Amino acid sequence: MYIFRKAVPDDAPAVLALYRSLLGRPGVTWDIEYPSMEFIRDDIQKDGLYLLTLPEGDLLSAASLLPDEELNDLPFWGTEIQKPCELSRFGASSTDEHPRIGSRMLQKILETASENGFDGMRLLAAPENERALALYRKMGFRIAGHAHLYDCEWVCMEKPL
């Protein structure tokens, strides 16, 4: 059994540890400076950081779900989405004992976005992050375009909810 919940300030160190544990994995564009504790605290303050944990509290996944403010201006998004949210800082740690954590977390995030009145979700994925791209495609996201942002190349994906 897994627990899906919003993060609270006391969760910030565990979230940072999860993010750091993913550094160096194939396709991961993060580094020691991003995502930082500042981003984590900001996401919590904005009431937009969600966690998937075990009942005893061990953190398996974290993701930010906030109104789309930065990506909205890119020119290629579909017109059917009028109230988008953005998925960012999505990290998951699957194990043999706890497989498919990313899929479980993304399903919960999609449900939450819809319950909160968003009609679509947008995200950036690194072109070399094949596991993430496969997960997003499996969950119904489509490629809307490509962009160079934050000194990186991105595949820009979206999904109507």
pLDDT in tens, 55-110: 999 999 999 999 988 888 899 998 999 999 999 999 999 777 889 999 999 999 99
Please enumerate, as own/partner, the contacts of 64-73 that have beta carbons within 8 Å and a separation of 24 or more: 64/88, 64/89, 64/90, 65/109, 65/112, 65/113, 65/116, 67/118, 68/122, 71/122, 71/124, 71/156, 72/122
User: What CATH architecture is 3-122?
Assistant: 3-Layer(aba) Sandwich (3.40)
pLDDT-based confidence at residue 111 (cuts at 50, 70, 90)? very high
Q: How high is the pLDDT of residue 86?
A: 96
**Which sequence spans correspond to the domains of the chain?**
3-122
Per-chain mean pLDDT for the chain: 94
Q: According to the model, what pLDDT value does residue 27 have?
A: 85
Q: Where are the beta strands (DSSP E) in the chain?
A: 3-6, 49-53, 59-67, 84-92, 120-125, 142-149, 152-160
pLDDT tier at 127, thresholds 50, 70, 90? very high
Q: What is the pLDDT of residues 128-138, one digit of tens each?
A: 999 999 999 99
